Structure formats: structure tokens, C-alpha cells
């Protein structure tokens, strides 16, 4: 594995004068690549690698072989839904008919607008909300858009006193961040021991300065918020709106609808729940839905179906404005459409139920070895609080085996680590979300490895604490990386 290409930047493979092309000499004198007019020639040093084609091919192929993704192995990352993304989605979104210049007149992209409109309407049906926009680029962007809807709603009523957004302390980090970016003051509400919102802590926070409350349900611990009708009533009674973080809608699909629970505004991550490969900053889509009476606030442009069955783009004058270019990351929308149609209305609820079954199966099989802080049925994901004390996980002991150690050791066995140290409610959070697309064989394999790691931690603590041992790069010094960051390549 450690060949000449391994672990090098393409710049380190560069040799002066080496090229990956050959061009015939131009027949027009003065215009060959080698004879550019003086005034057009670059004066400074060019910072580009000089490599032959085969070196470039090997460089990228070796890099891609070091990648870990859902297509290479099990990826049980909590709060992220790394489900399998069927390849038919890729084929469909690569169809030439969908690859149009964004300024193409609407009469030539009627099919694309139909896809947009149907995804919009399907999401409304799934979530119980009146209307969606598919314009936001990602979950966090959807949150910002949704919060702008809430802000516009209050402003258009002439109520400018609502400056606060309430966010549970178990929330995904993007929630308080989006509220702050939208210009709100973030007020934290505590969780009870079972991870759900503490209604008694919420009550005194409510008043005429509250614009709304953001919630994730099931919350980031995978627990369904049973008090949601009461919470929604309290927030509505004080004049605020309820925001639903639907980034991980998996367990809800076809089972339960945010609109029916009293939520007014929500976002969905198409790239998590509706199968687009994601992570690493790739394209996403964070559609925002609103209840009846808030539709006019959604961002422009909006896709409308006309009475004659054709589609058009419209801009509403009371809309909060535009939040993206054209119709956003359209190929993610096509993938969601393909995924929804291939599952079909009858099978969508199976995705949610299976994801819940798989999570509970892993949880119950591993609780003998890992500390389970919250009892009872979880939804699509759950959180362990590190290893049990008898396996070296007692965090009062300074040399205990940590969640980080377990996560690193998992890499030796070829699994991606779960989400660690989130949510912040426990010392050693280890958050597992298997998704519905994994077979029982994979789940059993993962369970066996997790048990084995616990036994290793008990019997050979040092070995686990120095893992990984079989990955191309061993344990990194996180502290050094933070204290002495290097952002540039030394030879440039």
C-alpha cells in the first residue's frame, strides 16, 4: 500500500516540465500555446503541479481508495442518516433532459418544474404542512430560511418585540447557530433526565419577546417528545411559532407528521432522509415547509402549477426574498424524487419502522457492554454513555477507556465510527444510527465487534487506548492540530 504515490500531495509528485498533454504546433504563427504574445504571458510563478496523466490517475485513484463511505462499509453515524443511496438515483439525475442551463425559459424545462412541484407536494403530504420551498441548499440553510419565515411573520404583523428563539440544550449545534445568524437571541431550555424537554423549565421562558421555539422530534437522543402537544400549546399561547428540525425525518416517514403535532415551520434534509450521498460538504438540499397561512412568506422564486397543467415560476411580493440562485441544488431534488417513486407510498413507512427496529436491536444487544443512560424504546438512533465500568469505562478513573478510544479501535475493524461526544448531555456520548438499509448480518457483525472492543478494553486497555493500529494513519494528535494548525503546504 505504501507505494510512491501513497500519502503524497499531487504537488509532491510534480516534476518541472512534465505534462499530461501534447498539442500539435499551431499553424497560425503567433498563436501557438508556446508563442503567446508577451503581454498575455504570466509573469509570476505558476503554482500548479506538473504531472503526466498516469501519475494524476494513480494519485486520485489511491486517494479514493482511502475514502470511507456508505458504499465501502457500515457507517453508523448518529444524527446524520448515512443510508444507502440507490444507484438508480444517480442514473436518473444524470439524464441529459435534466441538465439544462438555469436560465433556460420555463417552457423548455416543464419536466424539471414538474419534478420540483411533485417533490414539494409529496413533502407536504409526508409532513402535514401546507407548502414547501426546495430552494435552501442544506439543513442549516433551511433552518435559517425557516427562521426568516418566522421573523417575517412577526414583522408583517407589526410585532417587532419578538427577539428570542428557544432551543433545547440537546439540539443540534446548527439550531442555535442559525437562530443567531437570523438575528435572534438564543435562549436554552433544559432537558429532563430522559433527554426530553423540561416543560417546567420552559414555562418561565415564554412571553411577548419569544418569536418561536426550535425542536427536533424524536430529539437528538432518539427519544420521542411525548409532551409535544403541550409544548406547542404553550408556545402558541404566548404568540410564538413552533419550528421543527426535520433533518433526520427517517423514523417519522409515513408514521407521524410534524404538521399534526402543532409545528408551523420545518426543514427536511433531502440529503439525509431522501438518499443523496452527503458529507464532505457535497451538495445538499434543505426544503422548508410551512403551515396554512404562512405560504406567502416562502422565498422566491416559487414553482406553481397553472390551471392548464403547465408549470411556471412566480415571485410573491410578500415573500422574504430570495435565498439561493435559481432553483438551488436541483440534482438532489431529482434523487429524492427517484427515491420516493421507487419506494412508493406503500413502502415509505417501512423505511421509518425498519430504521427504528435496527436501532433498538443494536441498543439491546450492546447494553450489556456499554452504558445506556436512557431506558426504553428509542427511535432511529440512540446514545450510549461510553463503556460500562466493568469494561474500563468508569470516567471517574482518569485512565478509563474513552469513547474516543472505542471509536478509534472501530476503524481497525473496518467500520466508520459513530458520532462521538454529541449530544453534550453525557461525558462519553456515543451516538449510533444504523438506518434501515443495513442487513441483519451487518448489524450482527457490528455488534460482535463492539463487544469484542469492550472485552479488549477490559483485558488490554493500552492496546485500545493506542488504536487505531491498522489504518494508513495512526492516532492523530488532536491537541497539536488545534494548537499549531498548518493551513498551507510548505513547498508552495
Ligand X SMILES: *Cc1c(COP(=O)(O)O)cnc(C)c1O
Residue in 197, 223, 232, 245 binding ligand X, rule: CB under 6 A: 245
Name the nearest CA neighbour of 374 among 250, 214, 196, 245: 196
Instruction: Give the orientation angle of helix 110-127 with respect to helix 330-366, to 10 degrees.
Output: 30
Stretch that binds ligand X, among 136-144, 226-234, 420-428, 477-485 (CB under 6 A): 136-144
State yes or no: residue 170 binds ligand X (CB under 6 A): no
Residues facing 197 on adjacent strands: 191
Name the grid cell of 401: 477507556
- Told to check if 140 binds ligand X by CB under 6 A, we report yes
Q: Which stretch binds ligand X (CB under 6 A): 11-19, 137-145, 197-205, 483-491?
A: 137-145
Q: Of 84-92, 134-142, 188-196, 386-394, which segment contacts ligand X by CB under 6 A?
A: 134-142
CA gap 333, 286 in Å, rounded: 10
**Stretch binding ligand X (CB under 6 A), from 135-143, 204-212, 221-229, 252-260:** 135-143
Residue pointed to by grid coordinates 442551463: 101
- Kindly state whether residue 403 participates in binding ligand X, applying the rule CB under 6 A: no
Residue nearest to ligand X (CB): 139
User: Which one, 245 or 436, has the nearer CB to ligand X?
Assistant: 245
**329 Cα distance to chain centroid:** 15
CB of 177 to ligand X, least distance (A): 10
284 touches ligand X by CB under 6 A:
yes
Please state, in angstroms and as integers, the Cα–Cα distance from residue 10 to each residue in 7, 59, 385, following that order.
10, 7, 41
In the shown chain, the binding pattern of residues 52 to 81 toward ligand X, with x for contact by CB under 6 A and - for none, equals: ---------------------------xx-
Question: Among residue numbers 6 through 35, which ones bind ligand X (CB under 6 A)?
Answer: none
Q: Is 247 in the site for ligand X (CB under 6 A)?
A: yes
By CB under 6 A, residue 379 contacts ligand X: no
Nearest distance from C-beta of residue 427 to ligand X, angstroms: 21
Rg (CA), the chain: 26
- Phi/psi at 420 (5° precision): -120, 150
Q: Which is nearer to ligand X, 176 or 393 (CB)?
A: 176
Closest to ligand X by CB, 269 vs 355, is: 269
Residue 109: closest CA among 305, 300, 101, 135: 101
Nearer to ligand X, 202 or 249 (CB): 249
How far, in Å, CA of 336 to CA of 350, rounded?
16
**Rounded to 5 degrees, what are φ and ψ at 311?**
-115, 150
Does 172 sit near ligand X (CB under 6 A)?
A: yes
Distance CA 425, CA 169 (A): 8
CB 150 within 8 A of CB 159: no
Q: Which stretch binds ligand X (CB under 6 A): 119-127, 230-238, 240-248, 414-422?
A: 240-248
Sign of CA dihedral 369, 375, 377, 381: negative
197 binds ligand X per the rule CB under 6 A: no
Q: How far apart are CA 79 and CA 481, in angstroms?
A: 25
Among 424, 433, 381, 388, CA closest to 406: 388
φ, ψ of residue 445 in degrees (nearest 5): -65, -45
Q: Of 76, 136, 139, 289, which lies in the binding site for ligand X, with binding defined by CB under 6 A? A: 139
Q: Which is nearer to ligand X, 286 or 434 (CB)?
A: 286
433 binds ligand X (CB under 6 A): no
By the rule CB under 6 A, 216 interacts with ligand X: yes
CB of 141 to ligand X, least distance (A): 7
Our CB check for ligand X shows the closer of 210 and 247 to be: 247
Residue 254 vs 279, nearer CB to ligand X:
279
Of the candidates 291, 293, 332, 354, the residue with the CA atom closest to the CA atom of residue 139: 332
Question: How far, CA to CA in Å, does 7 sit from each of 4, 44, 47, 59?
Answer: 9, 29, 20, 9
Q: Applying CB under 6 A, which part among 133-141, 194-202, 206-214, 475-483 lies near ligand X? A: 133-141
Answer for which of 55, 269, 275, 360 binds ligand X (CB under 6 A) is: 269
Kindly indicate which of the ranges 29-37, 138-146, 373-381, 452-460 contains the residues binding ligand X, using the contact rule CB under 6 A. 138-146
Closest distance between ligand X and the C-beta of residue 203, in Å?
A: 25
Q: Is position 174 an interface residue for ligand X (rule: CB under 6 A)?
A: yes
H/E segment holding residue 214:
strand 210-215
Compare residues 76 and 286 and give the one whose CB is closer to ligand X: 286
Nearer to ligand X, 139 or 146 (CB): 139
What's the Cα-to-Cα distance from 182 to each of 147, 242, 296, rounded to whole Å?
6, 16, 19
E strand segments, 13-171:
131-133, 164-168
The DSSP bridge partners found for residue 210 are 164
CA distance 365 to 356: 14
* Candidate residues 93, 138, 303, 429; the one interacting with ligand X per rule CB under 6 A: 138
Q: Is 405 in the site for ligand X (CB under 6 A)?
A: no
Q: What number of chain residues touch ligand X (CB under 6 A)?
A: 14
Alpha-carbon distance values, 128 to 148, 153, 372, 411 (Å) = 21, 20, 34, 41
Cβ closer to ligand X: 133 or 248? 248
Residues at the interface with ligand X (CB under 6 A) = 79-80, 138-140, 172, 174, 216, 245, 247-248, 269, 284, 286
Amino acid at each position: 500500500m505504501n507505494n510512491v504515490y501513497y500519502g503524497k500531495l499531487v504537488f509532491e509528485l510534480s516534476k518541472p516540465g512534465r505534462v499530461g498533454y501534447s498539442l500539435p504546433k499551431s499553424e497560425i504563427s503567433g498563436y501557438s500555446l508556446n508563442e503567446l504574445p508577451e503581454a498575455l504571458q504570466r509573469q509570476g510563478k505558476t503554482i500548479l503541479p506538473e504531472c503526466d496523466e498516469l501519475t494524476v490517475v494513480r494519485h486520485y485513484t489511491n486517494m479514493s481508495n482511502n475514502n470511507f463511505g456508505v458504499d465501502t462499509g457500515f457507517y453508523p453515524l448518529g444524527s446524520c442518516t448515512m443510508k444507502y443511496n440507490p444507484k438508480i438515483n444517480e442514473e436518473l439525475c444524470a439524464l441529459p433532459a435534466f441538465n439544462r442551463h438555469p436560465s433556460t425559459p420555463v417552457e423548455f424545462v416543464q419536466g424539471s418544474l414538474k419534478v420540483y412541484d411533485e417533490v414539494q407536494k409529496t413533502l407536504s403530504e409526508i409532513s402535514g404542512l401546507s407548502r414547501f420551498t426546495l430552494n435552501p441548499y442544506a439543513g442549516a440553510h433551511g433552518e435559517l430560511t425557516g427562521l426568516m419565515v418566522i421573523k417575517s411573520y412577526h414583522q408583517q404583523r407589526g410585532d417587532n418585540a419578538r427577539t428570542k428563539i428557544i432551543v433545547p440544550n440537546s439540539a443540534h449545534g446548527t439550531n442555535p447557530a442559525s437562530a443567531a445568524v437570523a438575528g435572534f437571541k438564543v435562549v436554552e431550555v433544559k432537558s429532563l433526565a430522559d433527554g426530553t424537554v423540561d416543560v417546567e423549565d420552559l414555562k418561565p421562558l415564554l412571553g411577548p419577546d419569544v418569536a418561536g421555539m426550535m425542536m427536533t422530534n424524536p430529539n437528538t437522543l432518539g427519544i420521542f417528545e411525548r409532551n409535544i402537544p403541550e409544548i406547542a400549546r404553550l408556545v402558541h399561547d404566548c404568540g410564538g411559532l413552533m419550528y421543527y428540525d426535520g433533518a433526520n425525518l427517517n423514523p417519522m416517514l409515513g408514521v407521524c407528521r410534524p404538521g399534526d403535532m402543532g409545528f408551523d415551520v420545518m426543514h427536511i434534509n433531502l440529503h439525509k432522509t431522501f438518499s443523496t450521498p452527503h458529507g464532505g460538504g457535497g451538495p445538499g438540499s434543505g426544503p422548508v415547509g410551512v403551515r396554512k397561512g404562512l405560504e406567502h412568506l416562502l422565498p422566491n422564486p416559487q414553482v406553481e402549477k397553472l390551471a392548464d397543467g403547465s408549470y411556471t415560476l412566480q415571485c410573491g411580493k410578500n415573500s422574504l426574498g430570495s435565498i439561493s440562485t435559481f432553483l438551488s441544488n436541483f440534482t438532489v431534488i431529482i434523487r429524492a424524487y427517484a427515491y420516493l417513486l421507487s419506494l412508493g407510498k406503500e413502502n415509505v413507512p417501512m423505511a421509518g419502522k425498519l430504521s427504528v427496529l435496527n436501532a433498538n436491536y443494536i441498543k439491546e444487544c450492546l447494553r450489556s457492554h456499554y452504558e445506556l443512560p436512557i431506558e426504553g424504546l428509542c427511535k432511529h438512533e440512540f446514545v450510549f454513555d461510553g463503556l460500562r465500568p466493568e469494561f474500563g469505562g468508569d470516567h471517574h478513573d482518569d485512565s478509563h477507556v474513552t469513547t474516543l478510544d472505542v471509536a478509534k479501535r472501530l476503524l481497525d475493524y473496518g467500520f466508520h465510527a459513530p458520532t462521538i461526544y454529541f449530544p453534550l448531555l453525557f461525558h462519553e456520548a456515543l451516538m449510533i444510527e444504523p438506518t434501515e438499509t443495513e442487513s441483519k448480518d451487518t448489524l450482527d457483525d457490528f455488534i460482535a465487534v463492539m463487544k469484542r472492543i469492550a472485552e479488549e478494553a477490559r483485558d488490554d486497555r493500552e492496546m485500545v487506548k493506542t488504536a487505531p493500529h491498522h489504518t494508513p494513519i495512526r492516532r492523530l494528535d488532536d491537541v497539536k492540530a488545534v494548537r499549531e494548525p498548518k493551513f498551507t503546504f510548505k513547498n508552495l
